[in-house]
Chains A and B, each alone.
Chain A
Amino acid sequence: MSPWDLFVSLFVNVLLWIYDVVGQNFGLAIILFTILTRIVTWPLNASQMKSTKVMQDLQNDKEWQDIQKKYAKDREKLAQEQMRIYRERGVNPFASCLPTLIQLPIIFALYQSITRSLATTPLSLLQLTRSISSFLDVSSLIPLNSKFLWMDLGQPEFVPVFGFNLPTLAIVVALTTYIQTKLTTPPSSNPNDQSAAMARSMSLTMPLMLGWFALTFPSGLAVYFVTSNLLGIAQYAMMGKANWRSLLPGGSKPVTPAKPSKK
Chain B
Amino acid sequence: MKANRFVLFLALALGALFLSACGTPVSASWPGLAASEEAAYLATGPYVYAVRLEDGEELWRFPEKADGKLQFYSNPVLTNDGLVLLGSSGTGHNFIAVDAETGNEDWSFTGAQGAWQASPLVVDNFIYAPNTDGFLYVFDLNIEGDDKLAWSLELDGPLWAMPATDGQYIYVTSLDHRLHAVDPQTGSVAWTLELDGAAPGTPAVDADGMLFVGTFGKSIQAVDTSRRAIAWSIPTEGWVWGGPLRVDDVLYVGDLEGNFYSFNSSGKPDGEQFQPDGPILASPLVIGEQVIFVTENGTVYAAENGTDPKSLEKMEGKLYTAPVAAGDLILVAPFQGEFLLVALDQQGKQAWTFTPGN
CB distance from A220 to the nearest CB of B (A): 11
Indicate which residue in B7, B26, B115, B197 contacts A100 across the interface (CB closer than 8 Å).
B7
- A121–B198 CB distance below 8 A: no
Give the contacts of A100-158 with B (CB-CB under 8 A): 100-101, 104, 107-108, 111-112, 115-116, 120-127, 129, 138-140, 142-143, 152, 155-156
Contact B198 A139 (CB under 8 A): yes
* Chain B residues positioned under 8 Å from A96 (CB to CB): 3-4
In terms of DSSP, what is the predominant structure of the interface of chain B? loop
Within 8 Å of chain B (Cβ to Cβ): is A195? Answer: yes
Does B24 reach chain A (CB closer than 8 Å)? yes
Query: Chain B 1-24 against A: per-residue CB contact (8 Å), 1 yes, 0 no?
Result: 101111110111011101110111
How far, in whole Å, are A94 and B4 apart by their CA atoms in the complex?
Answer: 8
Q: Do A198 and B115 touch (CB < 8 A)?
A: no
Say if the beta carbon of B89 comes within 8 Å of chain A.
yes
- Please report which residues of chain B, range 1-56, place their CB below 8 angstroms from some CB of chain A when the two chains form the complex: 1, 3-8, 10-12, 14-16, 18-20, 22-24, 26-30
- Distance to closest chain B CB from A134 (angstroms): 13
- Name A198's contact: one of B5, B117, B215 (CB within 8 Å): B5
A-B contact list, 12 entries, CB within 8 Å: A59-B1, A97-B3, A100-B7, A104-B15, A121-B28, A122-B160, A127-B24, A129-B256, A142-B216, A143-B158, A152-B114, A195-B5
Instruction: Check A202 for interface membership: any CB of B closer than 8 A.
Output: yes
Q: A21-37 vs B: 1/0 string, CB under 8 Å?
A: 00000000000000000
- Are the C-beta atoms of A213 and B115 separated by less than 8 Å? no
Q: Which chain A residues lie closer than 8 Å to B239 at the CB level?
A: 129, 139
Asked if B7 and A55 make an inter-chain contact with CB atoms under 8 angstroms apart, the answer reads: no
Are B27 and A122 closer than 8 Å at their CB atoms?
no
Interface size bracket, A side:
35 or more
- Residues 231 to 263 of chain A near chain B (Cβ within 8 Å): none
Contact of A52 among B4, B12, B18 (CB under 8 A): B4
| B235 → chain A closest CB, angstroms | 12
Given contacts A59-B1, A155-B114, contact A198 B8 (CB under 8 A): yes
Nearest-CB distance from B10 to chain A (Å)?
A: 8
B30 CB contact (under 8 Å) in A123, A127, A194: A123
Please measure, in the bound complex, the distance between the C-alpha atom of A260 and the C-alpha atom of B160, giving whole angstroms.
68
Question: Are A94 and B256 in touch, CB under 8 angstroms?
Answer: no
Query: A97 with B4: in contact, given A121-B28, A121-B73, A139-B217 (CB under 8 Å)?
Result: yes
- Is the CB–CB distance between B23 and A143 below 8 Å? no
Q: Could you mark each residue 156-170 of chain B with 1 if its beta carbon is under 8 Å from any beta carbon of chain A, else 0?
A: 011010000000000
Q: At the interface, yes or no: A43 with Cβ under 8 Å from chain B?
A: no
> Quick check: A112 and B22 within 8 Å, CB to CB?
yes
Residues of B within 8 A of A127 (CB): 24
Instruction: Check if B91 is an interface residue, CB within 8 A of chain A.
Output: yes
Does A72 sit within 8 A of B, measured CB to CB? Answer: no
A52 to B198, CA, bound (A): 50
Q: Which residues of chain A from 50 to 85 have a CB within 8 Å of any chain B CB? A: 52, 55, 59
Given A122-B29, A155-B114, A195-B1, are A111 and B23 also a contact pair (CB < 8 Å)? yes
A120 touches B217 (CB 8 A): no
In the complex with contacts A112-B23, A127-B24, A143-B198, A101-B218 CB distance below 8 A: no
B27 and A121: CB pair below 8 A?
yes
Knowing that A122-B30, A124-B24, A139-B196 touch, tell me 8 more A-B residue pairs with CB under 8 angstroms.
A55-B4, A93-B3, A97-B6, A104-B11, A115-B23, A126-B241, A143-B176, A205-B12
CB distance from B353 to the nearest CB of A (A): 23
> CB-defined interface of B181-208 with A at 8 Å, one 1/0 digit per residue?
0000000000000001110100000000
CB distance from B197 to the nearest CB of A (A): 4
Q: Is the CB–CB distance between B16 and A218 below 8 Å?
A: no
Chain A residues positioned under 8 Å from B24 (CB to CB):
112, 115-116, 121, 123-124, 127
Give the distance to chain A from B179, nearest Cβ to Cβ, in Å: 15
Q: Tell me, in angstroms, the Cα distance from A156 to B18 when the chains sit together.
A: 18
Residue in B158, B160, B217 with the greatest tally of chain A CB atoms within 10 Å? B158
